[in-house]
Structure 1
Amino acid sequence: MNLLIALIPAIGWGVQPLILKKINGKPKNEILGTGMGALLIGIIVYLFLSPQSLDRTTFLLSTFSGMFWVIGQVGQYNAYNLLGVSNTMPITTGLQLIGTSLIGVIAFGEWSRSPYSKIIGAGAIILLIIGAALTTISDSKDKKSGFFKGIILLSLTSVGYWVYSALPKIVNADGVSIFFPQMLGVFLGAVIYVIMFRGKDAFKDKKSWKAGIVGFTFSISALAYIFSAQENGVATAYIFTQLNVVIATLGGIFILKEKKSSKELGFTLLGLLLIIVGSIITIFL
């Protein structure tokens, strides 16, 4: 049962981009629907799991954490249109892991168990960089312009994911307790994004409401990860989540029919392998 719980985030986060592309909405529809779905699950968890009450500071930091997640996710949703799912997912995963690992070392003093930890950790980050770079290799010159824009977009917006991961480490509360304010933050961030970019029509668009399925998928997966970490340990739970990038990338190729030459596919698979190996190494430091 514990391993089944561990698989939920991997599958949920892996199929999330595939569902979005099947709905075929615009980024404003996608992020608004995600926010609405996430808020609904957050409210249900708050009502039925009776999490501990939070002080104002913890609640606000958790809410801001969710709002910063939206920055990263908007970048990812826009990158799907520039790079495709099969290219976006390995790159964004690599960038997230690099950023969160460096923040963990610099801000929270992680990787300090032995003199060799930082050396091995640096090697893991190099693997992540090489792996992400390999997935961008393309035979087509026509793709390079879109690739460049997509990579720049992901590089800038991944900061949102880094802050989303870092803020909860500051507060003294369990994952279930901060779950609702985080999902509230996701919803508020999505609404702010839609209003700022003049997308108020998204509130009436059916594709936004359909994208609520993705919000359910994201939030249920996030909740399952909390329970998986409690039952299986953080290292095991996190390793299982890395299967999501494999599911999403291969799903983009074989389900969404994103074209790749045999050379591009080979480099993508090798890049995925390096990203997974690098991420596993960072967990055990």
Structure 2
Amino acid sequence: MGILLALIPAVTWGSILLVSSKLGGDDYSKTVGTTLGALLFSIGVFIFSQPEMSMLVWIIGFISGLFWAVGQKNQFTSVKYMGVSKTLPISTGMQLLGTTLFGVLVFHEWSNQTTIILGSIAILAIIIGVVFTSLGQKAEDEEYKKNLKRGMMKLLISTIGYVGYIVIIRWFDINGWAAILPQALGMVAAGTILTIKHRPYNRYAFRNIVTGLIWAAGNLGLLLSLPLVGVATSFSLSQTGIVISTLGGIFLLNEKATRKQIVYVIIGCLLIIAGGVLLGYTKE
């Protein structure tokens, strides 16, 4: 059951940048719209589940949401510079390294030789897969190099936000059902603070409420899977949605890619899927 729950965000999160790109708007309106959608979803879940709440849950959940908003806003900005098919593979690799480092070294989720070997092979396969999805995209001019540098800086900040968002929930062992509402409140608060100067509340923000609903469904799946399969496994499996976003960026958003690049992307996607399957066997 834990593996299936961890795969829900793979599908939903893998579609987010594709959906938001189709809905339109800049990174500010997309950020606000996504947080509003997540809040609406969380209110519905909260009413349905009626979890036991404590001050710790409210505080940690809220802080987790702040981290997430930083991660998502900067990922949206990176897409502006690098495109969906390039942003997601690199972002995924950074997040995998960060969450796995915490999961293994801090939470000791791989406790014996077998899980260490399998997990290491799985992470290696995923990282190599991520590299393959970005191969063949050479810098052709100075503007491309500048955009790549800007995008990478935004992804570094984004990674810090995303890793903080997931690790802090696990650190304090917060129940997924209880965390989702305070987390969404933190998302809306940070999203508003980060974008308010740019007047993000427009028609595109309201369109991207759909993006937030999609994200929230995946977030619930991830939070519920954490205590069942651990940080390293659950988050790594959730990131296999890269297959959807990378191929979608090329074939649905018509981002430029040569035949050679498409072959690399397919190889990379297969490696990522293989790594994700192996990670499923690391949970004792």
Range class of TM-score, shorter chain: 0.7 to 0.9
Partner residue in 2 for 1:15: 15
Return closer, same or farther for 1:73/1:238 CA change in 2, 3 Å cut-off: closer
Note the C-alpha offset of 1:132.
2.5
- Secondary structure in 2 aligned to 1:25? coil
Partner residue in 2 for 1:29: 29
For residues 7 and 282 of structure 1, the distance between their equivalents in structure 2, rounded to whole angstroms, comes to 12
Partner residue in 2 for 1:71: 70
Note the C-alpha offset of 1:64.
0.6
For residues 176 and 98 of structure 1, the distance between their equivalents in structure 2, rounded to whole angstroms, comes to 26
TM-score (norm 2): 0.85
Return closer, same or farther for 1:99/1:5 CA change in 2, 3 Å cut-off: closer
- Note the 1:184-199 alignment, pairs <5 A: 184-195=185-196, 198-199=197-198
For residues 3 and 157 of structure 2, the distance between their equivalents in structure 1, rounded to whole angstroms, comes to 35
Which residue identity is paired with 1:163? G
Spell out, residue by residue over 1:197-255, the C-alpha distance to the aligned partner (whole angstroms, 9 max, x if none): x22x212x11111111111111122224456x49xx64897676444211111111111
Which residue identity is paired with 2:19? I
> Aligned match of 2:213 in 213, 216, 221?
216
Partner residue in 2 for 1:253: 250
- Note the 1:49-60 alignment, pairs <5 A: 49-54=49-54, 56-60=55-59
Count how many residue pairs are aligned between Structure 1 and Structure 2: 277
Does structure 1 conserve the Cα–Cα contact (< 8 Å) formed by 2:16 and 2:214? yes
Runs of 5+ in structure 2 lacking a partner?
A: none
For residues 163 and 240 of structure 1, the distance between their equivalents in structure 2, rounded to whole angstroms, comes to 18
For residues 74 and 221 of structure 2, the distance between their equivalents in structure 1, rounded to whole angstroms, comes to 24
For residues 173 and 234 of structure 2, the distance between their equivalents in structure 1, rounded to whole angstroms, comes to 21
Cα RMSD, aligned residues only:
2.9
For residues 92 and 6 of structure 2, the distance between their equivalents in structure 1, rounded to whole angstroms, comes to 18
Spell out, residue by residue over 1:79-131, the C-alpha distance to the aligned partner (whole angstroms, 9 max, x if none): 111111111112111211111000112221222223x5445544444434333
Runs of 5+ in structure 1 lacking a partner?
A: none
Which residue identity is paired with 2:16? Q
- Note the 1:66-215 alignment, pairs <5 A: 66-114=65-113, 117-118=115-116, 120-137=118-135, 138-142=137-141, 143-195=144-196, 198-199=197-198, 201-203=199-201, 205-215=202-212
Partner residue in 2 for 1:244: 241
TM-score (norm 1): 0.85
For residues 16 and 141 of structure 1, the distance between their equivalents in structure 2, rounded to whole angstroms, comes to 29
Return closer, same or farther for 1:240/1:153 CA change in 2, 3 Å cut-off: closer
Does structure 2 conserve the Cα–Cα contact (< 8 Å) formed by 1:139 and 1:261? no
Identity %: 34
